[in-house]
Chains A and B, each alone.
Chain A
Amino acid sequence: MSAAVTVSATDALRPACTEPGGAGACGAGGGITITIPPVPDAPWKPVADAPLVESAVLERVLAAAVRRGGDMAEVFAEDRQLSGASLDDRKVEELSSGRERGAGIRVVVGETTGFAHTADLSEAGLLQAAEAAAAVAREGGGGVRTVALGTRLARPPRAAVLPSTVARARKLELLARADDVARSAGGEITQVQVGYGDSRRRVLVASTDGVLAEDDQVRTRFSVVCIASGDTGMQTGYESVARTMGFELFDQVDVDEVARTAARRALGKLSARPAPSGEVPVVLAGGSGGILFHEACGHGLEADHIVKDSSVYVGRVGEQVASPLVTLVDDGTVAGEWGNYAVDDEGKPAARNVLIDHGVLTDYMWDWLRARKEGRQSSGNGRRQSYQHLPMVRMTNTFLLGGADDAGEIVAQTPRGVYVAKLGGGQVNTTTGDFVFGTTEAYLIEDGRITEPLRDANLIGNGPDVLQRIDAVADDFSMTPGTCGKDGQSVPVGCGQATLRITGVTIGGTAA
C-alpha cells in the first residue's frame, strides 16, 4: 500500500551503504547538467548454456495459459542461489547457503491479473500453474492460440569472479579482518557484527507478446555493525558495501575502511548530544542523502501510484515540481550499482530515464501493466522480489545529478544548521507526500563549521515542498545501495546525490 514504502539501510542483514567514488562518480563542470557517463553493459549474444525452461515448453505453457482467453500470459522462471556468512561476538557463527528455483505465471484478462507460482519447472508443473493463473479468464472462448517466441538471447553473468568459485576460507578471512580492524579502533568498541553475502539470480521471461529474455545477476555485499559503550550508554555504527558484481568487489573495496567507518560512527556518537527539534537548514552529504529523493519523489513517480491517483505528483508532468537545481534520473543500466540489471523482471531492457529535468517533471516510471493502461511502453521498471511475486513499478538506481557548488563552501555558507553525513533509511506516504528519513551520523553546523555530533533522529517533510527548498548542489556525487520495500516485496536499489542544502526541514530530536 502507498503508505508503506520504505528504504532501509540500517538492518545488518539488508545491505546498504555509501559507495565512495563508484561507477556513478562524476567530475566537476559548468552548470548542473553534468551527466554520469553511461557504462557499457555486456552486449547481447546468443549463449549455449541450458535455459531454465526450453522454448518449446514455454510456448506450450503460454498457449495453455491463454486457452480460455486473456490478453497476455507470461512465464517468469528464476533460479536463485545465495550464500552468506556472519561473524558476531568474535566468532564465525553461521555459514549458510540456499537455493530456490521456480516460476511465476500470470495471465492478464482486461483489468484483472491471475497469478500462480510453482517450484516445479517441469512442463507438468508449469502447466498446472498456468491453469491456476488462467482461472481468472472465465469468459472462455479464447480458442486455440499458438505462441511463437523469438530467438533465445541470454546474457553471461556480469561478474569477473563468480562468488561460488571462491573458497569459503577467503570469505571468512574478510570477516575476521574487519572484526580486528573495528575492535582496534578504540577500547569502547564492545561488539562487532560482520556480514558477507552473495547471490546469483538467473531469470527467464517469456510472454505471449513474443518476449523471450534472460538475465544472470550476481550481487555481493559486505557490512559491519559496531557497538560502542560509554558513560552515556551504547551507540551503533553501520557501514556496508554492496554491488552488482562478483567477488572482484573486494579488489575495489577495502574492508578495513568499511570496518573503520562503522567503528568511527559508533565511537563518535558516544559523545553526541540530542538532536535539535524544529525546522532547521540541513546539509546532506553526498551518497546516502540520495534516500531523500527516493522518498521525497521517487516512490511518488511510480506509475502504479499515478494510475490509482494515490500520488501527490499525479497530473504534474511539465510542471516545476522542484528547485531548478534538481535533475533526477532513474537508471538501471549503471553497471555495478546495486539496482543494476540487463532486463527487468518483465524482460524489458533496463533504461536511463530522466524523471525531473532542472526542476520540471518529465515522466513517471512504468511497468508493462501500467504502461499498457496508458498506451505506452514500459520504462524497464517492472521488478519483483522473486518468482513468488507479481511484478510492479520499482526504482533501480535513482540519483540527483551533481551541481557546480563546492561541498565545503555549502557548509561554510550555512551559519547554523545540521550536517547529515549518513542517512539510514526513510519512508513515504505517496498520497500526502509526507516522508521521513533518519540519520545515523549527523553533526551541528555552527558559524559555518561542522561541530558537535548528534544522536540519531528522523527528519520529516513533504516531498514537493522540500524539493523546492534545495538551494545548493555540490559536485561530489556518490552512490549508496539500499533495500527498498514496497507492498511486501524487497528489491535492491541504488540512491545517489552530491552534497546539497535544504533551506529548512523539520528534525525530530529531543532537544527543545
Chain B
Amino acid sequence: MSELLDVAQSVVGRARPGEGVEAYVSRGHDTEVRAFSGEIEQLASASSAGIGVRVVLGGEDGEGRRVGFAWAGSLDPGVVGAVLDDARDNAAYATPDPHVALAAPDGVAPVTLDLWDPAFSSVPTDEKVRMALELERMVRAGDSRVRQVDAADYGDASVEVALASTTGIRATTRRTSAYVSVSAIAGEGGESQTGTGFSVGRSPTDLDLERAGEEAVTRAVRMLGAGKIPSGRFTVVFDPRVVSTLLSVVSSALSGEAVVKGRSFFAGRVAEEVASPDVTLVDDPTDPRAFGASAVDGEGLACRRNVLIDGGVLRGFVYDSVSARRAGTVSTGSAVRGGYAGTPGAGCRALALSPGELDQQGVLESVGNGLFVQSITGVHSGVNPVSGDFSVGAEGLMIRTGALAEPVREVTAASTLQRMLRSVLHIGADVEWLPGNAAGQTLAIGDMQVSGN
C-alpha cells in the first residue's frame, strides 16, 4: 500500500507551479477457475497495475481552468512520467471551465471499514479449484432434470488503490472479494431452460456453495414448460436480483452530473413526491455489508450516507467535486471511477430501499394474482434513464391466489421508471447485498403492461 502511495505522491511532486495534479494508482490480483464436466476448463491467475493522472491548468480563481487525463497499464517509472506529460498536453486543449477542480479535503473523516481479508492470499489454488468442481457436482446432482452445467466458476480479486493530489488528498483503500457462480440447464423432452446462482463475499470462506447451487437448479427447473401469456396489465413482483438491477438504473438519474447536465427526469424535483410513500432510498457505502462499500470515494473524500428519497419525497442527488461545483453545492463523497483508465464521475455505490415487513412469500400472498419475474433481459436496449421509458424481456412464474404457479417466458414488462416508483405496492424485508451498486429485495409494482401473444 505505502509503495502505491509513494508512486502517486512522486507524480504529484512533479506538478509545476500553479498546476493541479491528481494521481490514482491501483494494483490488483485475480484468480478465475471454471469447471466443466468434472474437469478444470480454465484456470487464470494474474496481477495488473496502472495509473491515471489528471492535470488541472489555470488560476486559483477558476479563470481559464482546464483538465486533461492520461493513463497507462503499468507502474514502470518511465511510463508513469510519460503519463503526467500526456495529461498535461491533453489539458491544454480542453475548454476553460471555472467548475473544473480537483477535490480538496473537506474535513469529513473516513469511517474504518474492514474490507480486506488478510488470509486471502494464503488460500491455495487447489482449494479454489475444489470449490468450482464441487459447485458443478452439486448442481448436476441437484435434480435429475439438470442436463448440463455450462459454467461453474470460482473467482476472486484483491484491489489496492492510492490517491494523492496537489490539493492535499492522500488516501488509500483496499478490498478483497470472492464469488462463485453457476449456470444450470434443465431439460425435458426437446425443451431447455436456464437458471443461474451465485454467492459473493469478502473471502472464499464467506461463500455459500450450497445456496448458489440450489438457486441455479430451482430457477432452471421451475421454468420447464414455460410459455407465453396473453398481453395485459399486471401487478408484477420482481425478484431481489432484478430489483438490484432496477435500482442501478434509477441511480443513473440520481447522479448529480446527470441532473446538472439536464439528463435526469429527477432534475428540478427536489422536495417533490416522486415515489410511493413507502419508498425510502439511501446510498450508504459505509455499510460494510454492501458489495460496493468503501471508506473513500474516487477522489479520495470520505464516503458517506446519502438519503436520496425519503418517504417518497426526493431529497437530493449524489455529487462528485465537479458536478457539485456546477450545481452550487458540495461533493457528497460520491465520485466513482472505473479503475485507473477512467475519470471520476458522480454515482451511487450502495443503494438500498428501506425494507418493508413482508418476506417474499408474504409479498406474493398480499399481491394475490400477478406475474413474478425472476430475470430480465435487454436493460441496456429497452430502459432509457433519461426519458424513463422502461421495456424489458421477462421470464418468471404466474402468481395465483398468493402462490407461484405456471412458468412464463418470452414476454416483456413495460412502464416508465417514473410511474413504477409511484406504483410500488410492497417492499420486501428480504434485503440481499448483491454484486453491483445496489441491494436487492422483493418488490411489487402495480399496473405494468405485460406483452405476450
Contacts and interface: CB of A to CB of B under 8 A. Distances in A.
Contact of A462 (B150, B410, B414, B415): B410
Contacts of A132: 45-46
Contacts of A233: 265, 387-388
Contact of A118 (B46, B86, B265): B46
Interface string B248-271: 000000000000011101000000
B2 interface: no
Contact of A96 (B44, B70, B411): B70
A98 B341 contact: yes
Interface string B207-234: 0000000000000000000001001010
A444 to B, nearest CB: 16
Contact of B452 (A112, A229, A427, A506): A506
Given A94-B94, A308-B36, A458-B392, A508 B451 contact: yes
Interface in A153-204: 168-169, 172, 190-191
B380 interface: yes
A93 B47 CA distance: 32
A100 B73 CA distance: 5
A89 interface: yes
Given A1-B183, A135-B125, A234 B412 contact: no
B275 interface: no
B409 interface: yes
B377 A119 contact: no
Contacts of B10: none
A136 B36 contact: no
B94 A93 contact: yes
A436 B74 contact: no
Dominant SS among interface residues on chain B: strand
B198 to A, nearest CB: 10
B42 to A, nearest CB: 5
Contact of A277 (B40, B193, B451): B451
Given A3-B194, A310-B185, A510-B414, A169 B39 contact: no
Given A116-B44, A191-B261, A95 B384 contact: no
Contact of A436 (B72, B262, B393, B453): B393
B41 interface: yes
Contact of B451 (A10, A191, A509): A509
Contacts of A426: 378, 381
B18 interface: no
B185 A458 contact: no
Interface in B317-369: 341, 343
Interface residues of A, number: 90
Contacts of B386: 227, 234-236
B150 A436 contact: no
A97 B68 CA distance: 9
A460 interface: yes
A428 to B, nearest CB: 8
Contact of B343 (A87, A94, A119): A94
A458 B393 contact: yes
A457 B94 contact: no
A117 B45 CA distance: 8
Contacts of B44: 114-116, 390
A236 B382 contact: no
Nearest to B182: A1
A6 B341 CA distance: 23
B393 to A, nearest CB: 4
B391 interface: yes
Interface in B51-77: 67-74
Contact of B93 (A95, A309, A435): A95
B194 A97 contact: no
A113 B35 CA distance: 11
A306 to B, nearest CB: 11
Given A112-B41, A233-B387, A508-B412, A8 B381 contact: yes
B391 A136 contact: no
B6 interface: no
A301 interface: no
B148 A457 contact: no
B395 interface: yes
Contact of A92 (B95, B261, B262, B411): B95
A426 B377 CA distance: 8
Contacts of A462: 410
A430 to B, nearest CB: 9
Contacts of A99: 71-74, 79
B95 A388 contact: no
Interface in B117-174: 125, 147-148, 150-151
A95 B380 CA distance: 26
B66 to A, nearest CB: 9
Contacts of A508: 382, 391-393, 411-414, 449, 451
B443 interface: no
A101 interface: yes
A432 B192 contact: yes
A512 interface: yes
Interface in A76-97: 85, 87-97
A128 B213 CA distance: 36
Contacts of A87: 95
Interface in B391-440: 391-393, 395, 409-416
A438 B382 contact: yes
A190 B262 contact: yes
B296 interface: no
A432 B409 contact: yes
Nearest to B47: A118
A94 B69 contact: yes
A169 B42 CA distance: 46
Given A91-B95, A426-B381, A431-B192, A191 B263 contact: yes
- Which of the listed residues B68, B73, B341 has the most CB atoms from chain A within 10 Å of its own CB? B73
Contacts of A95: 68-69, 90-91, 93-94
B146 to A, nearest CB: 12
Contacts of A310: 148, 150, 185
A456 interface: yes
A96 B412 contact: no
Given A97-B90, A135-B45, A435-B393, 10 more contacts: A91-B94, A96-B90, A98-B73, A99-B74, A119-B73, A234-B387, A236-B384, A458-B391, A460-B411, A509-B391
Interface of A: 1-3, 6, 8, 10-11, 85, 87-102, 110-119, 129, 132, 135-136, 168-169, 172, 190-191, 227, 229, 233-236, 269, 275, 277-279, 305, 308-310, 312, 388, 390, 423-429, 431-432, 434-438, 455-462, 506-512
19 contacts: A1-B181, A10-B381, A87-B95, A96-B90, A115-B46, A132-B45, A168-B90, A227-B386, A235-B386, A236-B387, A277-B414, A308-B148, A310-B185, A390-B42, A457-B412, A460-B378, A508-B391, A510-B391, A510-B449
Interface of B: 36-37, 39-50, 67-74, 79, 86, 89-91, 93-95, 97, 125, 147-148, 150-151, 181, 183, 185, 192-194, 196, 228, 231, 233, 261-263, 265, 341, 343, 375, 377-378, 380-382, 384, 386-389, 391-393, 395, 409-416, 449-453
